[in-house]
Structure 1
Amino acid sequence: MNEKNWLGAELIFDLDADHLPNAPRNYADMLELVKKETLKLLDFLTDDFGFSEQEVQLVFSGGRGYHFHITSPKVLTLGSSERREIVNYVSGRDLEFKYFFREVAMDGDFGTGSKTFKGMKNVPRKCTLVGYDSGWGKRIALYLTDYIKSESEKKYKKDMFPELRRHDKVGNTTIKKLINIANSETGLKDILEKGRLDFDVRNFKEIAAYFMQESAEDFLHRFGASVDEPVTADIKRLIRVPGSLHGGSGMLVKKLALSEMEEFDPLNDAVVFGERPVKITASKPFSVQLKGKDLRIEEGIQEVPEYAAVYLICRGVAEYGYRRNQPDPV
């Protein structure tokens, strides 16, 4: 054993309802929430990191979430610390918003850092969004435009932009210009497609960074991906094999094409047992949605479809067959 050397490990991501704040207790709702987190992580893997579909293997865990296996040779030899950095990135941990906003000198209609502007030596400077077309910069652009649009649609001006109004350098003039941006033909589009934040507002770089920092919790909840860090960081972790059955549900650990993710319904597509009636003894009332049916189980002896029996036994709320001293259902 001492002569064996570690050769490498796939980069693994585990998304599970256990790691999601305020996850619903209902199993179907829980799985739907985890699917949304999985789609967010998929965006990071293919857009931010540039992994191809051939390098990303997606697997339903058979339980309460999904696994990603990254098989690219580039990641196989990454150590635990590097893998933790990847988790930090996709979750947005310690994201410094101030570095996404930059003041540039004007040149024509937009700044490129020239020393003169239309013959003037004191070159006007305006704010731009760094990296607006990819990664976290793109997500910030989406968040800002959604915020400006939704606030500008409020009925009363006094109710608009309450978060920005808390900043001591934001007054009615700033609010008016933001409303004009939202109502203009190209204002919001220019933020998304050009990173333009040139609202002709003094200190807007500071104001924008302040707003994003104040909104960090909501922003990261919307765009960050919640993954199980110990699983990703562990370079010797054993992960469930696709094609096996999950011991806590009896459902299939199912490999999926990335294109199948949005339509995949684990409570139907990962159920492998049939409809044959099976007698069980339930220890308590229980309800679950499987194969498009709402199943309500009462305490005691009863017959249920085979797929439900397997699930209930795996969940520990029923035993196979008849057990003495248990009441028959009325």
Structure 2
Amino acid sequence: MKRARIEMSFVSEADASIVKKFFKSFYKENYSKLYIPSRLPEREFGYFTFEKKLMIRHLSFNSSQELWREIVEKTPLHIYHSAAFYKYPRAPMDAKGWLGAELIFDIDADHLKTPCEKRHDFKVCKRCRKAYPISLDLCPDCGQPLMKVEWICDLCLEAAREEARKLLSFLEDDLGFSKFRAAFSGNRGYHLVVEDESILELDQAERKELIDYITGTGLSMKLMGLEERVIDLETAPKLEDPSWRGRIAKAVFELLASQNYEILREVAGNSIAQTLINEIKEISKALGEHVPWNLMRPRLRRILFEAARELASAHIDVVVTQDIHRLLRLGNSLNGKTGLMAKMFDPDELDEFEPLSESVALPMDDELTVYVIRTPKFKLGEMEFEETENELKKLPAAAATLLLCKGAATLP
């Protein structure tokens, strides 16, 4: 198995050094707030340092004190633990002795089609310390490869939250799970872990079946009675139906009521969607307590079905969930891409959780002067920061760290 690698976003070694000092101070003062996984001695741990691109892994700890001591001493850029339990967690992968694994989910705005991405993402030349449009690959001045800066904003985080809502609904309402732990990733998404003994020994194929259900993979129009030329409203999906039948009916109803043509264009293409707009407008007039399946021509029915599946499914990182050896970011640790905490929270409070406020872990009262290469307008904690480019700025330590970790700023 290849060792995991990471590409450092810091513009300079001095940037990494100052951020490491902030991280070390945080861990010295807050080590006891870190999440301690159950069955700790059976977990594998791994971390990236500020100095090396390769992950240090195949570690294990017999007590929380051992883990805390390692973190305070080594000050990791990122730290992870296995979702799996092993007989010999320090052994190479093929000799660990797999004992089971938690069911984990990763939702990341990187995998979602958010319009804000085009507005706030950009690229940086580390050598020239300049920002460029996302479309460029090489620096126009020096010819060096450009580094992509993926920003975070309320819009992309809300998109990730909506996927987390849908995921929880599938897990609770359809699959019957009731106990979870949840965390903000510290960057652009959320992590969710099902805490249920019944799933620990599921193999990859069995986890793939759960993934397919949650993502709507292989969903059949025929089995829902929607491929007949004449639709029987008694057997067609209804709003009150359970599981995917009800989800499809609700999503189609929402598409018709809102006349959301954007998602139809994504499914069918601009030219086809345009020819269906008038048909949708007419059918929308007939909306009542049921979906008017019988008024749709087969082509529109299929397009609406596919759009509804896209709308109703939960967009998760399927590779993460299927991997029975996956490492998961340690709850309440710092994310080296932002300096924000991978803050754990009650899943029932997902709607109230404010990631860009509650995950701020570094000081907002200490200040650091940095050269801002570029940053969009952003909010952190209770403060708002204006769009800035090519300017020296004195910023709160937490905000300066965010920019340094992203490669959007450097020390002067």
Shorter-chain TM-score above 0.5: yes
Q: 8 Å contact 2:252–2:305 — kept in the other structure? A: no
Q: Given that residues 364 and 397 in structure 2 are in contact (C-alpha distance below 8 angstroms), is that contact kept between their aligned partners in structure 1?
A: yes
Indicate the residue corresponding to 1:31 in structure 2: 157
**Structure 1 residue 24, shift from structure 2 partner:** 2.1
Q: What's the offset of the Cα at 1:313?
A: 1.6
Q: Of 286, 289, 296, which aligns to 2:379?
A: 289
Residue number among 183, 201, 208 corresponding to 1:84 in the alignment: 208
1:221 paired to 2:310: yes
Q: Contact (CA 8 Å) 1:249, 1:311: kept in 2 or not?
A: yes
Amino acid across the alignment from 1:314: C
CA distance in 1, matches of 2:167, 2:106: 10
- Report the equivalent of 2:168: 42
Distance 1:3 1:285 in 2: 47
Letter in structure 2 aligned against 1:319: T
What's the offset of the Cα at 1:211?
4.3
Give 2:375's aligned amino acid.
F
Q: Distance in 2 between matches of 1:165 and 1:311?
A: 48
Matching residue of 2:245:
137
Aligned residue number for residue 192 of structure 2: 68
Residues 279, 301 of structure 1: 8 Å contact kept: no
- Give the AA of the match of 2:236: L
C-alpha deviation, 1:146, in angstroms: 4.1
Deviation track 1:84-126 (CA, whole Å, cap 9, x = no partner) reads 22222111122112211289xxxxxxxxxxxxxxxxxxxxx86
The change in CA–CA distance for 1:299 and 1:261 in structure 2 (over 3 A counts) is: same
Q: Structure 1: how far apart are the matches of 2:323 and 2:369?
A: 40
5 Å matches for 1:151-162?
none
Does the 8 Å CA contact 1:12/1:231 hold for their aligned counterparts?
yes
Tell me which residue corresponds to 2:113.
21
Shift of 1:254: 1.1
Measured in 2, the distance between the counterparts of 1:149 and 1:289 equals 34
Larger radius of gyration: 1
Paired residues for 1:170-189 under 5 Å: 182=287, 188-189=288-289
Q: 1:197-247 CA deviation, whole Å, 9 max, x = no partner? A: 8x9x6xx8xx68754422234212321111111111110011001110111
Change (3 A) 1:51 1:212: farther
CA contact (8 A) 1:280 1:318 kept: no
**C-alpha displacement of 1:70:** 0.8
The question of whether the paired residues in 2 share the 8 Å contact of 1:31 and 1:64 is answered with yes
Q: Does 1:128 align with 2:235?
A: yes
1:34 and 1:102, CA in 2 relative to 1: closer, same or farther beyond 3 A? closer
Partners of 1:255 and 1:276 lie apart in 2 by: 24
Q: What secondary structure, in the 3-state scheme, does the structure 2 residue paired with 1:284 have?
A: strand
What is the alpha-carbon distance in structure 2 between the residues aligned to residue 271 and residue 289 of structure 1? 11
**More deviation, 226-235/2-11:** 2-11
CA positional deviation for 1:261 = 0.7
| Gap regions ≥5 residues in structure 2 | 1-90, 121-151, 260-274
Bigger Cα displacement from structure 2, 33-42 vs 14-23: 14-23
Equivalent residue letter for 2:189: G
Identity of aligned residues (%): 31
Instruction: Tell whether the 8 Å contact from 1:283 to 1:300 is kept in structure 2 after alignment.
Output: yes
Which runs of 5 or more residues in structure 1 are unaligned? 104-124, 152-161, 167-174, 183-187, 324-330
Task: Provide the residue aligned with 1:305 in structure 2.
Answer: 396
CA–CA distance in structure 2, aligned partners of residues 19 and 150 of structure 1: 24
TM-score, L = length of structure 1: 0.69
Residues 74 and 32 (structure 1), Cα distance of their counterparts in 2 relative to 1, 3 Å cut = same
Query: What is the CA–CA distance in structure 2 between the aligned matches of 1:142 and 1:243, rounded to whole Å?
Result: 37
Letter in 2 for 1:230: V
CA RMSD of aligned residues (A): 3.2
1:96 aligns with 2:185: no
Deviation at 1:22, TM superposition (A): 4.0
How far 1:308 sits from its partner (Å)?
0.6
Residue deviations 1:138-197, cap 9 Å, x none?
A: 11222344466668xxxxxxxxxx85998xxxxxxxx89x96x64xxxxx44x48xxxx8
The one-letter amino acid paired with 1:68 is L
Deviates most, 267-276 or 247-256: 267-276
Aligned-residue offset at 1:284: 0.7
Displacement of 1:273 in angstroms is 2.0
